[in-house]
């Protein structure tokens, strides 16, 4: 493990800039078409081919290509349009693990070398895969949407925090303030119930979709 500029631990290393990169920073424009492999590979042999080529059509990649290229989880770079046509070239009943990198045959989803599923590499690769309209085939049973992961988290937090407070305030009340506590506790609970239904779902759809687009 090495430490990326942004202080995340990573095992990936940009052979061109000779710096560690994480699943986030690997997507910065400066590394867009860089040769990136694991740090342990670099230690053994830092040689690499330059200029880099699209792992599908073998055309030389241009530095200014920007979003026209996509980094696969095997760390190969592919034209986004080549990725789309590559994915579409698989038979329709291909299993998720059957969609592989054209060069090294590593399964495209989930990205093999980046474990942090919230990384920019994940978002960009996901976006590129969604251009094919075949995302269901590729994603299979792997949880993909950030929104799904997030919406599972907050509702229990919303639900449990106020209940803990109510319990905490109502149990000492047995000593004397029974009536006051009796009035406040149920009203708090009913407010929570009302808020709980519509708001978390709405919030999470609103807050998570721009995140996905921005990334």
Q: Rounded to the nearest whole angstrom, what is the least distance from the CB of residue 97 to Zn ion in the complex?
A: 14
Residue 61: HSE in the Cβ half-sphere, 13 Å Cα cutoff: 28
Nearer to Zn ion, 116 or 196 (CB): 116
Nearer to Zn ion, 54 or 84 (CB): 54
CA-only gyration radius of the chain, Å:
24
Nearer to Zn ion, 62 or 191 (CB): 62
Q: What is the distance between the alpha carbons of residues 84 and 89, in angstroms, rounded to a whole number? A: 9
Nearer to Zn ion, 13 or 204 (CB): 13
What residues numbered 57-96 form the site for Zn ion, per CB under 5 A? 57, 74, 76, 79, 82
125 binds Zn ion (CB under 5 A): no
Size of the site for Zn ion (CB under 5 A): 22
Nearer to Zn ion, 85 or 160 (CB): 85
Q: Identify which range of 6-14, 90-98, 152-160, 179-187 contacts Zn ion by CB under 5 A.
A: 6-14
Q: What is the distance between the alpha carbons of residues 146 and 56, in angstroms, rounded to a whole number? A: 28
Measured CA angle at 176 (ends 175, 181), to 5 deg: 105
CB 67 within 8 A of CB 32: no
The interface mask with Zn ion, positions 24-63, x = CB under 5 A, is xx-----x--x-------------------x-xx------
Long-range contacts of 110-114, Cβ-Cβ distance < 8 Å, separation of 24 or more = 110/73, 110/142, 111/23, 111/72, 111/73, 111/74, 112/73, 112/74, 113/11, 113/12, 113/38, 113/73, 113/74, 113/75, 114/12, 114/22, 114/23, 114/26, 114/73
Q: Which of 3, 6, 97, 164 binds Zn ion (CB under 5 A)?
A: 6
Q: Rounded to the nearest whole angstrom, what is the least distance from the CB of residue 14 to Zn ion in the complex?
A: 3
Nearer to Zn ion, 56 or 137 (CB): 56
Residue 13: HSE in the Cβ half-sphere, 13 Å Cα cutoff: 16
What residues numbered 94-123 form the site for Zn ion, per CB under 5 A? 101, 103-104, 106
205 to 106, 142, 151, 159: CA distances (angstroms): 32, 20, 8, 18
Residues of this chain that interact with Zn ion (CB under 5 A) are 4, 6, 8, 14, 16-17, 22, 24-25, 31, 34, 54, 56-57, 74, 76, 79, 82, 101, 103-104, 106
């Amino acid at each position: 493990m090495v430490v990326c500029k942004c202080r995340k631990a990573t095992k990936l290393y940009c052979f061109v800039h000779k710096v560690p990169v994480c699943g986030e920073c690997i997507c910065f424009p400066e590394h867009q078409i860089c040769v990136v492999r694991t740090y342990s590979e670099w230690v053994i042999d830092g040689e690499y081919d330059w200029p880099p080529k699209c792992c599908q059509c073998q055309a030389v990649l241009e530095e200014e290509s920007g979003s026209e290229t996509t980094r696969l989880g095997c760390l190969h770079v592919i034209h986004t349009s080549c990725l789309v046509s590559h994915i579409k070239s698989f038979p329709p009943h291909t299993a998720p693990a059957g969609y592989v990198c054209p060069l090294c045959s590593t399964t495209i989803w989930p990205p093999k070398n980046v474990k942090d599923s919230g990384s920019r590499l994940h978002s960009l690769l996901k976006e590129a895969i969604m251009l094919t309209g075949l995302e269901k085939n590729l994603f299979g049973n792997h949880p993909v949407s950030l929104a799904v992961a997030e919406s599972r988290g907050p509702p229990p937090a919303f639900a449990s925090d106020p209940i803990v407070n109510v319990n905490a305030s109502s149990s000492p009340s047995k000593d004397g303030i029974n009536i006051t506590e009796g009035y406040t506790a149920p009203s708090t609970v009913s407010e929570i119930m009302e808020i709980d239904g519509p708001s978390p779902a709405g919030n999470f759809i609103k807050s998570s979709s721009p995140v996905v687009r921005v990334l």
